[in-house]
């Protein structure tokens, strides 16, 4: 019960998860996969996400993180949505408790909207609805609007033991090892890290850096002390304090100024091997948007299931 309360109280923090790494897939995926069975799918999902984002500013970053978490654990199969009666599932893992309920609610609302169309009912996988919702969360926050490949099937398994995440203390080598396990490159990782332009993290994920990490701008450290007084871990700070609700390139500009909230963020600028990409995105938002969209497409191909090892769930929370 305590873990459930923590889930409901936790704020958005982008952080991936590890099993044996899921393989890249995607041969079956296509943007027009549902053109014949659910032609209005994308507009239905976008309208639902728009309503969720209007209701809560947390919905956009929470949905985006949910997609990353899903793909990074067992592949993009909506296993993160599953609820097991015995409590052994991904979202109730020690790392999963940082997921915000607004992300789950956004996907469930979009699923209900899709199924309210008789032509679409039980035809669209939860995994694809999550992929579309993540794209729309980015776009509705000011980010790029990109094509989403569709045709994923939903997984039937979700376990707490499958969840191991790269934490906010990771350095560049640790980040690269994790993303390499997903079939993604350092360039992909740096572009995807730009998702930290929206959302927030609780003090427990960065408080140890305040006043102790020379890479942190002193004025920024003073600002964070106000958010996390003393040893308290109950507060939070925005991952991008400049424009916390807008998807833009300010995240990278913050890194150049020593204003990265997480150590894993600031590591991208501290390490010479990744600094050039940070400088490029800080100077060129269009380049960031293009590379982010491409990296999200590649992420969306990780561990895709087929009709042989998956299904189209009638309820995203339970296997059929």
Q: Are strands 200-202 and 236-238 parallel, antiparallel or unpaired?
A: antiparallel
Give strand pairing partners of 315. Answer: 318
**What are the tens digits of pLDDT across the range 108-149?**
999 999 999 999 999 999 999 999 999 999 999 999 999 999
Per the listing, tokens 């599953």 go with 82
The binding site comprises 70, 73, 75, 77, 79, 90, 166, 196-197, 240, 243, 248
The answer to whether the CB of 74 falls within 8 A of the CB of 303 is yes
Cα 182 to Cα 71: distance, rounded to the nearest angstrom: 9
Write the DSSP string, 143-194. -------B--BB-S---GGG-----TT--HHHHHHHHHHTT--HHHHHHHHG
What does the pLDDT read at residue 84?
Answer: 81
Residues flagged as binding site for substrate: 166
**Which pLDDT score is estimated for 90?**
75
Chain CA centroid to CA 73, Å? 12
Model pLDDT, residue 25: 53
Stretches where the chain sits below pLDDT 70 are 1-27, 88-89, 91, 93-97, 230-233
Please enumerate, by residue number, every residue annotated as part of a binding site for Ca(2+): 70, 73, 75, 77, 79, 90, 197, 240, 243, 248
**Which two three-digit tokens encode residue 155?**
């997984």
Cβ atoms 77, 300 nearer than 8 A: no
Shortest CA distance to 131 belongs to which of 57, 198, 34?
Answer: 34
Element at 72 (helix H, strand E):
helix 59-74
Residue numbers annotated as active site: 69
Of the candidates 316, 302, 21, the residue with the CA atom closest to the CA atom of residue 164: 21
Name the pTM for this structure.
0.90
Q: How far apart are CA 177 and CA 240, in angstroms?
A: 25
**Whole-angstrom distance, CA of residue 174 vs CA of residue 308:** 34
Task: List residues forming the annotated binding site for heme b.
Answer: 196
For residue 30, list its beta bridge partners.
Answer: 150
């Amino acid at each position: 019960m305590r873990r459930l309360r923590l889930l409901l109280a936790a704020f958005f923090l982008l952080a991936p998860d590890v099993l044996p790494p899921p393989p890249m897939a995607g041969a079956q995926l296509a943007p027009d996969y549902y053109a014949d069975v659910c032609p209005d799918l994308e507009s239905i999902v976008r309208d639902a996400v728009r309503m969720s984002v209007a209701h809560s500013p947390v919905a956009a970053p929470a949905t985006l993180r949910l997609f990353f978490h899903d793909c990074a654990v067992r592949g993009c199969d909506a296993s993160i949505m599953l609820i097991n009666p015995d409590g052994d599932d991904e979202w109730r893992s020690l790392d999963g408790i940082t997921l915000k309920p607004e992300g789950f609610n956004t996907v469930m609302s979009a699923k209900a909207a899709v199924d309210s169309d008789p032509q679409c009912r039980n035809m669209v996988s939860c995994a694809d609805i999550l992929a579309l919702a993540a794209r729309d969360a980015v776009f509705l926050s000011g980010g790029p609007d990109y094509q989403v490949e569709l045709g994923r099937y939903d997984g039937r398994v979700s376990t707490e033991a499958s969840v191991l995440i790269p934490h906010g203390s990771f350095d560049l080598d640790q980040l690269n090892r994790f993303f390499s396990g997903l079939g993604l490159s350092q360039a992909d990782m740096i572009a995807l890290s730009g998702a930290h332009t929206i959302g927030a993290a609780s003090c427990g994920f960065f408080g140890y850096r305040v006043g102790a990490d020379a890479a942190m701008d002193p004025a920024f450290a003073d600002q964070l002390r106000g958010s996390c007084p003393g040893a308290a871990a109950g507060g939070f700070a925005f991952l991008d304090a400049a424009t916390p609700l807008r998807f833009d390139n300010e995240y990278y500009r913050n890194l150049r100024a020593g204003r990265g909230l997480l150590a894993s963020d600031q590591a991208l600028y501290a390490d010479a091997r990744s600094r050039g990409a940070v400088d490029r995105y800080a100077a060129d938002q269009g380049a960031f948007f293009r590379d982010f969209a491409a990296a999200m497409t590649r992420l969306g191909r990780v561990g895709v299931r087929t009709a042989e090892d998956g299904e189209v769930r009638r309820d995203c929370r339970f296997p059929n």
